[in-house]
Structure 1
Amino acid sequence: MTREQLYNIAEEWFSQQGWTPFKFQKDTWRAFLQGKHGLLNAPTGSGKTYALWFPIVLNYIKNNPDYQTQHKKGLKAIWITPLRALSQEILQSAERVSKDLGTNFTVGIRSGDTSNKERVQQKKNMPDLLITTPESLQLLLASKGYDKMFKNCSAIVVDEWHELLGTKRGVQMELALSRLRTVSKNIRIWGISATIGNLEQAREVLLGTNEEIQGNSVLIKAKLNKKITVKSIIPKTMETFPWRGHLGLHLLEEVIPIINASKTTLLFTNTRSQCEIWFQKILHLHPEYAGEIAMHHGSINKETRLWVEQAIRNESLKAVVCTSSLDLGVDFAPVETVIQIGGPKGVARFLQRAGRSGHRPGEESVIYFLPTHAMELIEASALQRAVKEQVVEDRLPYLNSYDVLVQYLTTLAVSDGFFPDEIYNEISETFCFQAISKEQWQWLLNFNVLGSQSLQTYDEYKKVEIEADGRFKVNSRAVAMRHRFQIGTIVGDANLIVKYQKGGYIGSIEEFFISKLTQGDVFTFAGRNLEFIRIKDMQVHVRNSSKKTNKVPSWMGGRMSFSAQMSELLREELYAANIPTAKLSKEMKALETIFERQKLESMVPGPDEFLIETFKTRDGYHHIFYPFEGRFVHEAMGSLLAYRISLLSPVTFSIAFNDYGFELLSDQEIDMQQVLDNNLFSADFLLDDLQKSLNATEMARRKFRDIAVISGMVFTGYPDKGIKMKHLQSSSQLLFDVFRDYEADNLLFQQAFTETFEHQLEEGRLRLALERIEDQNVVWKDCEKPTPFSFPIITDRLREKLSSEKLADRIKKMTAKLMKK
């Protein structure tokens, strides 16, 4: 069959559905059938799944003319999805196409939710098309005879590649692809990505550095003019002294008419705890929504999540309060309206969420922005501009993630074993390990066999044996079993299962929250008030309670920071407020009273100005700095400046920060002029000063826990008998101390410091911020009292000490006092 005849099959199918294929879909079919690899850049809901399922099926038809009568069994294509929630959608599209084209293809899903019985069945008889996650793919590589399973695989598609890029799951994927390229001789590698700033690099990371593969690849962009409308919900009365305390709940009644006017509304919150609070509050104030409103986040059990997704599809729910668990994939057309509660901290995330509404090609997406405090209206204005100018963030890939490589080598050793030279050639063609030296490689092999120099006397670290033929192999059944349980790179805080005392699974919660509860405490979770009874076998036993409570679980993932692009847009919006001729957005106009008050008490900085404010309250001497760079950069910069100031005169600070600025609070006054004269913002000696200021060793120690778990040095326990987080912590701390004292050149020990600086402290961004400030004119304002800009930062510090009721009371008094003056 000629290529043209194959294209006709696809186009005919489209016309039977009453559709016309887009240019990007046809381009992808063409490139795939020409044997090319590639990256497809297309928004959610544009038909990207059909862009790649079709050529996979058409390619099979081309190579098997009698496909309708003689079906060849075995795995033909793999579809990787980072989120289990997406699997169902992809399965439906795949089954529809293969059934309509008469191919007799079977389609299977394999993820953490797949039952054991189904897995065993799949092992015996692999489906033609397998939809799976990066972790489940690694588990397949850990099974004996995997090379025969993958031998005739013609394609692997990595969906939502932008989500994996810049994470260790992305590195895991790079390594798996390096193996599949060798095992499956005719495999074509394709990625699907939403828009990111560095698409070319994204393709390079996906395909590796092999020139032949890169040379035979394409980047296809879907040029669909998607109209996105951003509508801000502007408070009728503007607080002059804004704070973050009420999570936007004071605007709840503004949301009700929007929900009522739409068939289905998604309300996106940034954190799971905010999601729980909003859900409770809407039901409390509007009991008429009972049964019509639901909640969706990653810690709620799978059955409930699937029920919610299905209910959105068949329009039986009026509204869903959710987190990023619904950012991706989950394909439902009927969502009319999206509301973003609080700043999303990044342009890409905001666009992704906007795209959930009008989730069909050519339809307009409408997203409402609800600020949780007045200053977030600046973010709303910046996002409006980002949408107009199509500004999107880069996703920066990881380099030299040795912990992931150690895990991967053990995976290969668990299955059929591996020959080091062959695997070295493969991994050195991945983007992540393109610069790995022979010495580093040898060190990693020794580590897998001997457990590193300083641990040679302990047998438990010697996992891999070298066979007579030079093959590296795991022969211990116990080691293999423990390794399979621990495959993966997502290391959160230990998750505990929450269930009723009499059975009935509710969801999972992080240990650090539960560890603060005592028996009889009531907390809100999954939309219910639950009384804590006890922890037994890594399970939290609870019962329903009618008591009111203000305890809502918080998750470690709740700390999001501005992206570099978002920070820049925000600064530009803010500077415009100072230019009399600037055309201001309605959001910025709504903030005029705050800007007026800010100018009265202090100033609004312009493009070439950097603002520092000082004032005294009963809490002490406040020194506030405004880089507008996001909380991660501010955390590092705050510690750095505190350290540098303490070198001039002995002084102790407490540090508070948000996305706009940071505060150094002390019990004694600082001579700010002396500080400024001493080149405080210099980027010289940055790494050295950061090491000393931040107790970087402590941060690296925490980072090392994840590295120890991923590399398999620390075992997290069997599914029902998990190891408590404090034991994990102490085991990894012990190893950290051993390496620090006896083996400082240990690659995994050094990796902990590299990751601390590059990823947690964003040292590169911090350096750029300092260089920018050095070029600006530093304006120090000695104020009489807190200013509107400083108020959210001060109140954030109080939050740590006070319960939410006491905090609200205290802030009311503070605001009244400031307004009176």
Structure 2
Amino acid sequence: MTPAAIPPEIADWFAGRGWRVRRHQAEMLAAADSGKHAMLVADTGAGKTLAGFLPTLAAFCPSRLDGAKPPEGLHTLYVSPLKALAHDVQRNLITPVEEMGLDLRIETRSGDTPSDRKKRQRARPPHVLLTTPESLSLLLSYPDSLTLFADLKRVVIDEIHAFATQKRGDLLALALSRLQAIAPEMQRVGLSATVADPGGYRGWLAPQSDLGGDLDSVAMVEGEEGAAPELEILLPDGERVPWGGHAATWAIPQLYKRIAANRTTLVFTNTRFLAEYLFQHLWDANEDNLPIGIHHGSLSKEARRKVEGAMARGELRALVCTASLDLGVDWGDVDLVVQMGAPKGSSRLLQRIGRANHRLDQPSRALLVPGNRFEFLEAMAALDAVREGQRDGEDFRPGALDVLAQHVMACACAGPFDEAALLAEVRSSLPYAGIDAEAFRRVLEFVATGGYALKAYDRFRRIVRERDGTWRLTHPDQAQRHRLNAGIIVDSEMLDVRFRNGRSLGKVEERFAASLRVGDTFRFAGVTVEVESLRDMELVVRASSKGAMIPSYGGLRLPLTTHLAGRVRELLTDRAGWGRFPDDVREWLEVQDWRSQLPGPDNLLVETFPHEGQHYAVYYTFAGWNANQSLGMLITARMEARGLMPGGFVANDYSLAVWGLKRVDDPAPLLSPDILAEEFSDWVTQSHLLRRAFREVAVIGGLVERQQPGKRKSGRQVTFSTDLIYDVLRKHEPDHVLIEAAWADARAKMTDVARLAEVLDTAAARLEHVVLERVSPLAVPVMVMIGREAVPQGAQDDELLLEAESLEGAAMRVEPLG
């Protein structure tokens, strides 16, 4: 691609900072000048965001305007997955805009934006608006959206890998199609550092037609290669790598020393609970009173903004955080990133590593802290993948029907629409390129009446078809109801945590709050609080010096990627590579190899052995927690049917342990692939899974409203409503569009049926069954979980380790069996 002419204002600004315009930045400007969409894949710190905005800055440079006035109205949309990222980008863009003297106004818009500012932004929009997919969809639901976006020139999608394969990506793809219809010359730009399949994302970005995606319309730009990251795995001083647990609290003294030795450290955890738990342990070790903060999605907007501001000003020495800061946040003073526990994926790890230094020519420094021995292997696998430049990612799949229903309603709120025209527009997005007219008609009928079984109820009538064939709202009030309830993220119902004076600390799950009584204490937002009262949707607390319980958050478990799982299996069988491991980990694997065998990359190892009066079977699937949970339910059901008297099961990402009163002589019949055809549907239908999935799609599809003017339904009320409707539909309309959508979610998100099917196929092809007389070394990490699965994870690690030591005595004796 021929480099573009860089406007002198931009060239001088780069030179004044001692920088140069990098090749990929110039190529992004050239792509825009040639009228093309563009997909940029570049390392963290390569100036991706600036590259995405360079054509926008150039359009406002006096040298390009040649005496003309700057463009009026909304010129560029920036869409990010995180509100924190949008605010960070705003901070970082304002500096070059001011220093170049450009007449360019930049604002953010999200759920946190005050309503008066949102109204003003629609009437007098800034030149650049930084927003999220959900807020963009809401903007498109207003009648004035046709005017607002009429002159839109560019949409910049940052961290595109965080959108495209999920429901938020479906919503964004539909929004892009609508924007393209409003502003046909609009250019699409995708940015990412960690995509495994750049061509696939290029295809997602391209507008679709009857002939498929026009890939030639999307320039593929690859960034300059940056410095290799410096990665290290932290090991216990003079002690063994733990058998079980995942909080890695053993590392707190060593971690504190690293924090004290660096300017600013980001400590990533995989759950909000662990963020709170580890923050408290760090604070207890903080003898020097170093400024250490905490950041996660359940904290109040004010608390998050305060911490983000302090980090931007360089006032914190450490920040404990979750995925709320995974993506793109640019704090140049961060010189060390710590990953507590297993990274779960090489792309996720690389993304987090990139938060350190955030400069292309300087290596990012990262420390991986495994909580147990399997997590050590996972950390090694992720470290190797990052060094080899290997990424992992999710596969593309057809768009979700509940998201399409929400989009249809948004379009109706903006004004009457023609069915054929809207179908063509929807098909121009990759997730819905293959939707047929009948499926689209079913979605329309659902939005119009609720479906065959619900059409008698007026409250489900939202749109109606006119005689001329156009569709419109049944009543203007429907628009307000839609905007109050639209969105893709359906969290567990949360209650506000507030002091009596009204100051908000954040939110906790409703089911956690329901377990609390007046006088109970818990740790939240870095302080211990005591419950004073629970009323409506608020938990009123006061500060306390008493001991505290720890809140446990659900629904946030990060999945082990297939790519990383495969690498862990390869490590297990690469005996020559064990020399890189600590002595105790190497001994663990050697004794396992002696006493049993190691699971290979292409087989399924099943060990059976007696323990404390029960018969156990451990299945080494490496399929992730969701798939293993599903397999455990199906296996125990088959055991029950065969009279094997199952007692229960526990699972982690790597293995599944099932026990019962009778020995499993042959596990093959329990793992036959027909289990998915015969028992899977019955289990999902009879369990809570399909009901839970239906609750989510009913909320996303607009069938059940969470919010009404001046009032928000509790989680209990929403669940009651969705359960009633679910029972009606299962009986009278089992092929309802939302039942279909719920099944899709249950298969993909909740049960991970694709990976479960791979496990069963592997078992059918190569099942290795080893009969033992006692627990094996590799089984210990999952065995110590028995009886703990209902307890908040992390809080009882010491007890787990004591139990592990008792199992270790049985597992690590190396005399031959028999």
- CA deviation digits over 1:251-296, x for unaligned, max 9? 2112122112111111111111111111111211324225x11111
Match runs of 1:373-384 below 5 Å: 373-384=372-383
Distance 1:589 1:806 in 2: 26
The answer to whether residue 275 in structure 2 is matched with residue 286 in structure 1 is no
Q: Which residue number in structure 1 is paired with residue 571 of structure 2? A: 573
Q: Which residue number in structure 2 is paired with residue 798 of structure 1? A: 787
Q: Could you tell me how far 1:525 is from its partner in structure 2?
A: 0.4
Distance 1:473 1:418 in 2: 7
Distance 1:421 1:608 in 2: 49
Q: Which residue number in structure 2 is paired with residue 618 of structure 1? A: 612
What is the root-mean-square deviation in Å for CA atoms of aligned residues?
2.5
- CA deviation digits over 1:651-706, x for unaligned, max 9? 3341100112101121x122423x44x4x433345333322345566312210100
Q: Which residue number in structure 2 is paired with residue 773 of structure 1? A: 763
Q: Which residue number in structure 2 is paired with residue 25 of structure 1? A: 25
8 Å contact 1:239–1:374 — kept in the other structure? no
Match runs of 1:188-267 below 5 Å: 188-210=187-209, 211=212, 213-239=214-240, 242-244=243-245, 247-267=247-267
Q: Which amino acid aligns with 2:559?
A: S
Q: Could you tell me how far 1:809 is from its partner in structure 2?
A: 4.4
- CA deviation digits over 1:390-410, x for unaligned, max 9? 221122234131111111111
Q: Could you tell me how far 1:774 is from its partner in structure 2?
A: 3.3
Q: Could you tell me how far 1:627 is from its partner in structure 2?
A: 1.7
Q: Which amino acid aligns with 2:777?
A: P
Q: Which moved more, 1:560-569 or 1:807-816?
A: 807-816
Distance 2:505 2:361 in 1: 39
Instruction: Go from structure 1 to structure 2 and tell me whether the alpha carbon gap of 1:259 and 1:435 turns closer, same or farther (over 3 Å shift).
Output: same
8 Å contact 1:267–1:338 — kept in the other structure? yes
Distance 1:757 1:817 in 2: 36
Q: Which amino acid aligns with 1:151?
A: A
Q: Could you tell me how far 1:631 is from its partner in structure 2?
A: 1.4
8 Å contact 2:461–2:474 — kept in the other structure? no
Match runs of 1:491-640 below 5 Å: 491-549=490-548, 551-576=549-574, 579=575, 582-584=576-578, 586-587=580-581, 589-599=583-593, 601-607=595-601, 610-618=604-612, 620-640=614-634
The answer to whether residue 702 in structure 2 is matched with residue 712 in structure 1 is yes
Q: Which residue number in structure 2 is paired with residue 138 of structure 1? A: 137
Counterpart secondary structure, 2:447: helix
Q: Structure 1 stretches of 5 or more lacking a match?
A: none
The answer to whether residue 113 in structure 2 is matched with residue 114 in structure 1 is yes
Counterpart secondary structure, 2:491: coil
8 Å contact 1:61–1:67 — kept in the other structure? no
Match runs of 1:54-65 below 5 Å: 54-59=54-59, 65=65
Counterpart secondary structure, 1:665: strand
Q: Which amino acid aligns with 2:608?
A: T
Distance 2:722 2:40 in 1: 41
Q: What TM-score, normalized by structure 1, do the two folds share? A: 0.93
Q: Which residue number in structure 2 is paired with residue 440 of structure 1? A: 439
Q: Could you tell me how far 1:817 is from its partner in structure 2?
A: 6.8
Pairing partner for 1:672 from 665, 671, 678: 665
Instruction: Go from structure 1 to structure 2 and tell me whether the alpha carbon gap of 1:770 and 1:527 turns closer, same or farther (over 3 Å shift).
Output: same
Q: Could you tell me how far 1:91 is from its partner in structure 2?
A: 1.9
Counterpart secondary structure, 2:191: strand
Q: Could you tell me how far 1:360 is from its partner in structure 2?
A: 0.8
8 Å contact 1:77–1:129 — kept in the other structure? yes
Distance 1:812 1:130 in 2: 55
Q: Which residue number in structure 2 is paired with residue 819 of structure 1? A: 809
8 Å contact 1:537–1:721 — kept in the other structure? no
8 Å contact 1:174–1:208 — kept in the other structure? no
Q: Could you tell me how far 1:745 is from its partner in structure 2?
A: 1.9
Q: Could you tell me how far 1:808 is from its partner in structure 2?
A: 4.1
8 Å contact 1:76–1:155 — kept in the other structure? yes
Distance 1:148 1:314 in 2: 39
Q: Which moved more, 1:806-815 or 1:612-621?
A: 806-815
Q: Which residue number in structure 2 is paired with residue 478 of structure 1? A: 477
Pairing partner for 2:637 from 616, 634, 643: 643
8 Å contact 1:85–1:329 — kept in the other structure? no
Q: Which residue number in structure 2 is paired with residue 750 of structure 1? A: 740
Instruction: Go from structure 1 to structure 2 and tell me whether the alpha carbon gap of 1:619 and 1:36 turns closer, same or farther (over 3 Å shift).
Output: farther
Distance 1:390 1:48 in 2: 18
Counterpart secondary structure, 1:797: coil
Q: Could you tell me how far 1:25 is from its partner in structure 2?
A: 0.7
Q: Which amino acid aligns with 2:486?
A: I
Distance 2:807 2:651 in 1: 23
Q: Which residue number in structure 2 is paired with residue 733 of structure 1? A: 723
Instruction: Go from structure 1 to structure 2 and tell me whether the alpha carbon gap of 1:241 and 1:615 turns closer, same or farther (over 3 Å shift).
Output: farther
Of all paired residues, the percent bearing the same amino acid is 29
Q: Which residue number in structure 1 is paired with residue 152 of structure 2? A: 153
Q: Could you tell me how far 1:122 is from its partner in structure 2?
A: 1.5
Q: Which amino acid aligns with 2:768?
A: V
Counterpart secondary structure, 1:584: helix
Q: Which amino acid aligns with 1:800?
A: E
Counterpart secondary structure, 2:444: helix
Q: Which amino acid aligns with 2:490?
A: V
Q: Could you tell me how far 1:324 is from its partner in structure 2?
A: 1.1
The answer to whether residue 691 in structure 2 is matched with residue 701 in structure 1 is yes
Counterpart secondary structure, 1:288: coil
Counterpart secondary structure, 2:56: helix
- CA deviation digits over 1:449-472, x for unaligned, max 9? 222111111000001133454332
- CA deviation digits over 1:298-354, x for unaligned, max 9? 111222222222322332211111111111122110101111110011111111111
Q: Could you tell me how far 1:100 is from its partner in structure 2?
A: 4.3
- CA deviation digits over 1:217-242, x for unaligned, max 9? 11211131331122111123555871
Distance 1:813 1:51 in 2: 54
Distance 2:16 2:64 in 1: 24
Counterpart secondary structure, 2:227: coil
- CA deviation digits over 1:21-78, x for unaligned, max 9? 111111111011100012111233221122121212324569973556x344211111
Q: Could you tell me how far 1:498 is from its partner in structure 2?
A: 0.7
Distance 1:432 1:359 in 2: 33
Instruction: Go from structure 1 to structure 2 and tell me whether the alpha carbon gap of 1:719 and 1:88 turns closer, same or farther (over 3 Å shift).
Output: farther
Q: Could you tell me how far 1:141 is from its partner in structure 2?
A: 0.9
- CA deviation digits over 1:525-575, x for unaligned, max 9? 0011111222223111111111112x2112223322211001000000111
Q: Which moved more, 1:742-751 or 1:563-572?
A: 742-751
8 Å contact 2:73–2:151 — kept in the other structure? yes
8 Å contact 1:346–1:563 — kept in the other structure? yes
8 Å contact 2:353–2:365 — kept in the other structure? yes
Q: What TM-score, normalized by structure 2, do the two folds share? A: 0.93
Distance 1:426 1:195 in 2: 30
Instruction: Go from structure 1 to structure 2 and tell me whether the alpha carbon gap of 1:692 and 1:741 turns closer, same or farther (over 3 Å shift).
Output: closer
Distance 2:67 2:645 in 1: 79
Distance 2:395 2:805 in 1: 42
Q: Which amino acid aligns with 2:695?
A: R
Pairing partner for 1:724 from 714, 739, 749: 714
Distance 2:57 2:313 in 1: 30
Distance 1:224 1:313 in 2: 26
Instruction: Go from structure 1 to structure 2 and tell me whether the alpha carbon gap of 1:59 and 1:516 turns closer, same or farther (over 3 Å shift).
Output: same
8 Å contact 1:165–1:395 — kept in the other structure? no
Match runs of 1:48-87 below 5 Å: 48-59=48-59, 65-66=65-66, 70-87=69-86
Q: Which moved more, 1:746-755 or 1:703-712?
A: 746-755
Q: Which residue number in structure 2 is paired with residue 39 of structure 1? A: 39
Q: Which residue number in structure 1 is paired with residue 299 of structure 2? A: 300
- CA deviation digits over 1:779-818, x for unaligned, max 9? 313232x333222212223213668887844752662475
Q: Structure 2 stretches of 5 or more lacking a match?
A: 814-818
Distance 1:588 1:769 in 2: 30
The answer to whether residue 183 in structure 2 is matched with residue 184 in structure 1 is yes
Q: Which amino acid aligns with 2:42?
A: A
8 Å contact 1:240–1:593 — kept in the other structure? no
Distance 1:251 1:603 in 2: 31
Q: Which moved more, 1:582-591 or 1:725-734?
A: 582-591
